[in-house]
């Protein structure tokens, strides 16, 4: 009875796509070829895949731990509660449309794992073509593999059509701030258990989706709840990258009237001109304490060197322009006041070799901002406004320069 209730709740929480008629088989395509795995039905009639065959195709592994089955794909652990429509990922229990089950000593996983969960959380590596029931493994790291598709390219959807006038090949790095053992600020007015690292990741994944819809490729510094060193994040935006966008949530120390401070602001890398800008930079830079091997100090002479390099390449000016467009775009949808474009010495921006900005999307120490930042509709609105601003910047840059290489590099 309890299982039936849980299943009903999970089904209600799932999108329509998770409940449609399942395919007869799923194809896993990678650099070594393709493997076709038959879709079966469990005792409740839900579509499932045999874990041994699936994980052999994905290069993953499984470990049974009491009532839980831990499935590792691309070094990321997904824990399924056997017999219940629930799984755990990034320290959160999430609903499923079906259940993991064991039949004749074989673990079976819901089809949803391949069709939705893997491509959503590991989207930098895996793509799922629903029309063909085909999961493509693009490979690990910056070196992506080209996977042959005998059926030809998938039909393009209207949502995938590139922005009119925007040239192909643009790459933007999206950096959801904090992660892993670094929670960011605790989120005084966030729902219980939600912290800055959760909000930045939620908005970051939505921003990736919005940029892709506009025809812009995206490189994520993280797609899961993991810690990336401050000094390493900028390195995701190197020669083949156009822009670096870091997402954060502001907060303020307890003092008289502190919960009344709200609003948003966008930063680019330069010496701080105000005490408030210096305070925010110090707050974000303090995240380095969570790293086992701390990044090189970017203050002092290190920052001076970076600033000279940026100025020589005009990235400072371009960063300021991008910040202006993003600030204006968020201003059209945010319920709080705009604090404008600011500059400060953020460590996370020092290693990006392209124009880069850091967005403080609101204050977790303010009840109105807290609600705004944790509402899915508002998160998508933020992501959409930032994506529009990025595209506007790219279009403007193309008009000014006239040429962009096929890899998105400026000439």
Do 232 and 164 sit in the same domain of this protein?
yes
1 pLDDT tier (thresholds 50, 70, 90): very low
Instruction: Find where tokens 């156009």 sit.
Output: 242
pLDDT of residue 306: 53
Q: Residue 334's CB: how many other CB atoms inside 10 A?
A: 22
Query: Is pLDDT larger for residue 276 or for residue 406?
Result: 276
pLDDT of residue 287: 53
Residue 151 belongs to a domain: no
Gap between the Cα atoms of 345 and 300, Å rounded: 10
Using only the alpha carbons of the chain, give its radius of gyration: 22
Gap between the Cα atoms of 111 and 89, Å rounded: 17
- 24-55: per-residue pLDDT in tens? 999 999 877 899 999 999 988 899 999 999 99
Q: Which domain holds residue 58?
A: 2-137
Mean pLDDT computed over 341-364? 82
Gap between the Cα atoms of 119 and 227, Å rounded: 21
pLDDT of residue 165: 79
Mean pLDDT computed over 99-120? 92
Helices (H), 167-314: 196-213, 230-233, 275-285, 301-312
Do 130 and 185 sit in the same domain of this protein?
no
Residue 230 belongs to a domain: yes
Do 85 and 179 sit in the same domain of this protein?
no
Predicted TM-score (pTM) of this structure: 0.58
Mean pLDDT computed over 91-115? 90
Task: Choose the final residue of a domain: 83, 108, 137.
Answer: 137
Q: Is the pLDDT of residue 369 over 70?
A: yes
Mean pLDDT computed over 118-142? 82
Instruction: Report residue 9 as tokens.
Output: 């709740």
Residue 281 belongs to a domain: yes
68 bridge partner residues: 65, 81
Q: Can you give the CATH number for the domain in which 105 is found?
A: 3.30.457.10
Q: Which of 58-67, 133-142, 164-173, 292-301 has the lowest mean pLDDT?
A: 292-301
Do 72 and 206 sit in the same domain of this protein?
no
Do 263 and 382 sit in the same domain of this protein?
yes
Gap between the Cα atoms of 403 and 172, Å rounded: 18
Q: Is the pLDDT of residue 339 over 90?
A: yes
Residue 44 belongs to a domain: yes
Q: Is the pLDDT of residue 259 over 90?
A: yes
- 129-140: per-residue pLDDT in tens? 988 999 998 875
Helices (H), 24-158: 51-58, 112, 118-121
Do 202 and 301 sit in the same domain of this protein?
yes
Residue 98 belongs to a domain: yes
Q: Please say whether the beta carbons of 365 and 258 come within 8 A.
A: yes
Gap between the Cα atoms of 211 and 214, Å rounded: 5
Do 177 and 235 sit in the same domain of this protein?
yes
For 13, list phi and psi in degrees, rounded to 5: -85, -15
pLDDT of residue 155: 37
Do 65 and 208 sit in the same domain of this protein?
no
Spell 21-35 as b/e; 16+ CB within 10 A means b.
Answer: ebbeebbbbbeeeeb
Task: Choose the final residue of a domain: 79, 102, 137.
Answer: 137
Residue 408 belongs to a domain: no
Residue 150 belongs to a domain: no
Do 97 and 166 sit in the same domain of this protein?
no
Q: Which of 80-84, 234-238, 343-347 has the lowest mean pLDDT?
A: 343-347
Do 132 and 178 sit in the same domain of this protein?
no
Q: Is the pLDDT of residue 190 over 70?
A: yes
Q: Mean pLDDT for the chain?
A: 80
Mean pLDDT computed over 56-67? 90
Mean pLDDT computed over 217-231? 89
> How many independent structural domains does the chain possess?
2
pLDDT of residue 286: 59
Residue 220 belongs to a domain: yes
Gap between the Cα atoms of 224 and 292, Å rounded: 19
Task: Choose the final residue of a domain: 137, 171, 200.
Answer: 137
Q: Which helix (H) or strand (E) holds 386?
A: helix 376-401
pLDDT of residue 361: 97
Q: Can you give the CATH number for the domain in which 324 is found?
A: 3.40.630.40
297 pLDDT tier (thresholds 50, 70, 90): very low
Do 237 and 383 sit in the same domain of this protein?
yes
368 pLDDT tier (thresholds 50, 70, 90): very high
Do 49 and 198 sit in the same domain of this protein?
no
End-to-end C-alpha distance for the chain, whole angstroms: 65
């Amino acid at each position: 009875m309890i299982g039936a209730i849980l299943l009903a709740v999970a089904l209600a929480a799932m999108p329509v796509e998770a409940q449609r008629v399942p395919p007869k088989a799923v194809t896993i395509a990678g650099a070594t070829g393709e493997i076709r795995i038959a879709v079966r039905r469990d005792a409740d009639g839900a579509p499932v895949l045999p874990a041994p065959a699936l994980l052999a195709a994905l290069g993953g592994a499984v470990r049974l731990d009491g009532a839980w089955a831990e499935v590792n794909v691309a070094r990321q652990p997904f824990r399924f509660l056997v017999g219940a429509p629930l799984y755990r990922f990034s320290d959160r229990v999430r609903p499923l449309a079906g259940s993991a089950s064991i039949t004749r000593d074989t673990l079976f996983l819901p089809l949803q794992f391949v069709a939705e969960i893997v491509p959503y959380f590991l989207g930098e590596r895996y793509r799922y073509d629903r029309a063909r029931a085909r999961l493509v493994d693009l490979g690990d790291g910056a070196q992506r593999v080209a996977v042959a598709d005998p059926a030809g390219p998938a039909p393009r959807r209207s949502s995938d059509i590139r922005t009119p006038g925007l040239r192909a090949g643009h790459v933007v790095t999206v950096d959801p701030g904090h992660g892993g053992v670094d929670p960011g600020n605790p989120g005084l007015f966030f729902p219980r258990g939600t912290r800055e690292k959760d909000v930045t990741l939620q908005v970051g994944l939505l921003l990736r989706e919005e940029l892709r819809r506009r025809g812009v490729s995206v490189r994520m510094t993280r797609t899961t709840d993991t810690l990336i060193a401050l000094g390493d994040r900028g390195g995701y935006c190197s020669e083949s990258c156009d822009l670096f966008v870091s997402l954060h949530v502001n907060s303020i120390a307890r003092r008289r009237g502190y919960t009344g401070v709200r609003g948003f602001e966008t930063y680019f890398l330069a010496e701080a001109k105000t005490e408030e800008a210096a305070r925010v930079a110090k707050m974000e830079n303090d995240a380095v304490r969570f790293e086992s091997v701390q990044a090189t100090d970017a203050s002092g002479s290190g920052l001076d060197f970076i600033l000279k390099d940026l100025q020589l390449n005009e990235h400072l000016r371009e960063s300021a322009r991008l910040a202006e467009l993003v600030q204006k775009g968020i201003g059209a949808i945010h319920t709080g006041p705009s604090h404008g474009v600011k500059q400060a010495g953020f460590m996370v921006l020092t290693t990006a070799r392209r124009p880069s900005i850091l967005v403080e999307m609101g204050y977790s120490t303010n009840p109105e901002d807290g609600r705004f930042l944790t509402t899915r509709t508002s998160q998508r609105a933020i992501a959409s406004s930032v994506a529009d601003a990025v595209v506007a910047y790219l279009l403007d840059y193309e008009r000014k320069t006239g040429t962009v290489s096929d890899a998105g590099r400026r000439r």
